[in-house]
């Protein structure tokens, strides 16, 4: 089919909507390495994970073979409130750039949480409810996951305790109010309410916190409170599974017009939106059906793929969680307080780490000021105020489109626009006032975290 007259937004009908999540691990020849027990260094068994995670989610976590997991009807019904998310042809951006490239973005900011995180939040809350739990604990960095999970918990009437990284808690008080609107209990982390929080505060007085610290606190509360479990908004295999809805919808929409992407780009924090967006495209690439580049974009201030090590590491600062093999900067790494809060995790999803190690995915890092320049350029022509995290993908999409302008190539570029930036206006303000700085860690600074990686034989 001709690719002229592609509508500005491509939607899907109810029949065309995906009814199952796709498990990218099933297509991988080299499977992601298993989670290890931090004490014995043996692969974690379901029963060892059961005190921490919900049973059904553990099954999804450990299953590298099942291709499709049917989406339960209650979740499909919830998805109907805000899905399909629009796949937009960025005609105005193309014109502004003067590029022959065709640019599409999948916009996940069209729900109150403002990001893709709701796709997995609703699934995780559903399985917690189904198991008869009373409540759930979690952490949030920038606040998007906490917001999404609060929404999901209020929908299924579950108690929700959120540990929010202190720097975000202070920078984004309105995020906290959204969470409280949905009934969540929000504590800045590290806090004096947990043993691990007290220890972290004693060791690092005045710390602004990190996702790794907040995870440790949330896990401690989940495992010490009857009827509670812990959930995580990124990194884990189950989260990538739920987020495959993004990629499945994108591919179904492109297929309607016979479009094949040449480049798929996404920002990468823990890897969930990227893992979800690329899932069906990566499958086709692995099976030799699609020749396309897949690019992960991370902040220069927290460069786990581009400057980290591929090794087993702790997922949290308190070292209570299982060990995961991933590209990591070390669980003790506390990134400079940059504004892409959702991209500040020290490690990367095991699935994406393995794909990157196998040369199936590329990675690049971009500094903050350049990211905000792209964000502003995009906002002015496409009418959406993008999240700083998403703007990492915008930066690279624009750069790729500008390369096409030089070479005259009409490449099709697809990128994930993961969310909106309404809660990030302090960051935009700094950018406009010329006060934004690029924090790029030196090799010596990174060495401190990397030297502390656990030794696994
Ligand atoms: C959390 C978040 C990210 C990064 O998380 P991933 O798990 O890497 O997807 C990116 N964009 C937005 C808007 C987020 O909220």
**Cβ proximity of 363 and 296 under 8 Å:** yes
The pLDDT of residue 345: 86
Dihedral, 368, 374, 375, 377 alpha carbons, nearest 10: 150
Q: Is 102 left (phi over 0), alpha (psi -120 to 50) or beta?
A: beta
* Digit-coded pLDDT (tens) for 351-399: 999 999 999 999 999 999 999 999 999 999 999 999 999 999 999 999 9
Angle between helices 118-130 and 55-62 (to 10 degrees): 130
The predicted pLDDT at position 4 comes to 63
Helices (H), 257-303: 272-286
Q: Are 343 and 302 in contact (CB under 8 A)?
A: yes
Q: What is the pLDDT of residue 114?
A: 95
Structure tokens at 49: 């994970």
Say if residues 31 and 64 touch (Cβ distance below 8 Å): yes
Q: How far is the CA of 344 from the centre of ligand 1 (A)?
A: 10
Nearest protein CA to atom 10 of ligand 1, as residue? 389
Q: Are 150 and 178 spatial neighbours (Cβ–Cβ below 8 Å)?
A: yes
Q: Which domains are delineated in the chain?
A: 3-19+84-114+237-450 (3.40.50.1100), 20-69+117-230 (3.40.50.1100)
Which of 106, 107, 109, 117 for mutating ligand 1's site (highest number of atoms within 8 Å of CB)?
117
Q: What is the pLDDT of residue 210?
A: 83
Q: Cα–Cα distances in Å, from 351 out to 241, 276, 297, 365? A: 11, 11, 16, 19
pLDDT for the residue 1: 42
Between vectors from CA 100 to CA 99 and to CA 103, what angle results, nearest 5°?
80
Task: Give the mean model confidence (pLDDT) for residues 16-44.
Answer: 96
| 193 pLDDT above the threshold of 80 | yes
58 Cα: distance to centroid of ligand 1 (angstroms): 22
CA distance 283 to 178: 37
Query: Which residue among 113, 236, 267, 345 is best mutated to probe the pocket of ligand 1, counting the most ligand atoms within 8 A of its Cβ?
Result: 267
Ligand 1, CB cutoff 6 Å, lining residues? 115, 117, 144-145, 234, 267-274, 342-343, 387, 389-390, 418-419
- Average pLDDT of the chain is 95
Nearest ligand 1 atom, CA 235: 7
The backbone torsions φ and ψ at residue 11, rounded to the nearest 5 degrees and listed phi first, read -110, 170
Cα 432 to middle of ligand 1, angstroms: 23
pLDDT of residue 317: 76
Report pLDDT for 361.
Answer: 98
pLDDT mean over 201-205: 94
pLDDT given for residue 171 in this prediction: 82
Q: How far, in Å, is the centroid of ligand 1 from the Cα of 317?
A: 20
The per-residue pLDDT for range 42-97, each reduced to its tens digit, is 999 999 999 999 999 999 999 999 999 999 999 999 999 999 999 999 999 999 99
pLDDT in tens, 225-284: 999 999 999 999 999 999 999 999 999 999 999 999 999 999 999 999 999 999 999 999
Structure confidence at residue 350 (pLDDT): 98
Q: Dihedral sign for Cα 258, 259, 260, 265, please.
A: negative
Q: What confidence tens digit (pLDDT) does each residue in 139-172 have?
A: 998 899 999 999 999 999 999 999 999 988 988 8
CA distance 28 to 431: 41
């Amino acid at each position: 089919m001709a690719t002229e007259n592609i509508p500005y937004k491509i939607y899907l009908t109810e029949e065309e909507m995906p009814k199952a999540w796709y498990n990218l691990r099933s297509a991988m020849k080299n499977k992601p390495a298993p989670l290890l027990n931090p004490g014995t260094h043996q692969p974690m068994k379901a029963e060892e994970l059961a005190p921490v995670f919900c049973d059904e989610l553990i099954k999804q976590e450990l299953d590298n073979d099942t291709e499709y997991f049917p989406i339960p009807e209650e979740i499909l019904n919830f998805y109907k409130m805000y899905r399909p998310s629009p796949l937009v042809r960025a005609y105005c951006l193309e014109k502004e750039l003067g590029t022959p490239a065709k640019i599409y973005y999948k916009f996940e900011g069209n729900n109150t949480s403002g990001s893709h995180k709701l796709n997995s939040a609703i699934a995780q809350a559903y399985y917690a409810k189904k198991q008869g739990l009373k409540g759930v604990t979690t952490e949030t960095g920038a606040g998007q996951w906490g917001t999404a999970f609060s929404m999901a918990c209020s929908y299924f009437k579950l108690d929700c305790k959120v540990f929010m990284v202190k720097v975000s808690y202070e920078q984004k008080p309105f995020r906290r109010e959204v969470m409280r609107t949905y009934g969540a209990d929000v504590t800045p982390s590290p806090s004096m309410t947990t043993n691990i929080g007290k220890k972290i505060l004693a060791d690092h007085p005045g710390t602004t916190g990190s996702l790794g610290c907040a995870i440790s606190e949330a896990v401690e509360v989940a495992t010490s409170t009857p009827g509670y479990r812990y959930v995580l908004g990124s990194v884990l295999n189950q989260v990538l599974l739920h987020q495959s809805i993004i990629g499945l919808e994108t591919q179904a929409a492109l297929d309607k017009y016979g479009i094949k992407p040449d480049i798929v780009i996404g920002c990468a924090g823990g890897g969930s939106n990227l893992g979800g967006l690329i899932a069906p495209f990566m499958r086709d690439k692995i099976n030799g059906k699609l020749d396309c580049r897949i690019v992960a974009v991370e902040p220069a201030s927290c460069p786990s793929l581009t400057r980290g090590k591929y090794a087993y590491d702790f997922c949290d600062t308190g070292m209570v969680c299982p060990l995961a093999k991933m590209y990591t900067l070390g669980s003790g790494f506390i990134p400079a307080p940059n504004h892409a809060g959702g991209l500040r995790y020290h490690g990367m999803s095991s699935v994406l780490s393995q794909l990157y190690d196998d040369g199936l995915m590329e990675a690049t890092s971009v500094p903050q000021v350049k990211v905000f320049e792209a964000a502003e350029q995009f906002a002015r022509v496409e009418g959406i105020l993008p999240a700083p995290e998403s703007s990492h993908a915008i930066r690279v999409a624009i750069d790729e489109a500008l390369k096409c302008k030089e070479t005259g190539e009409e490449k099709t570029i697809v990128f994930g626009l993961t969310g909106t930036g309404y809660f990030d206006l302090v960051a935009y303000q700094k950018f406009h006032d010329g006060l934004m700085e690029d924090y790029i860690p030196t090799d010596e600074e990174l060495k401190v975290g990397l030297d502390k990686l656990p030794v696994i034989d």
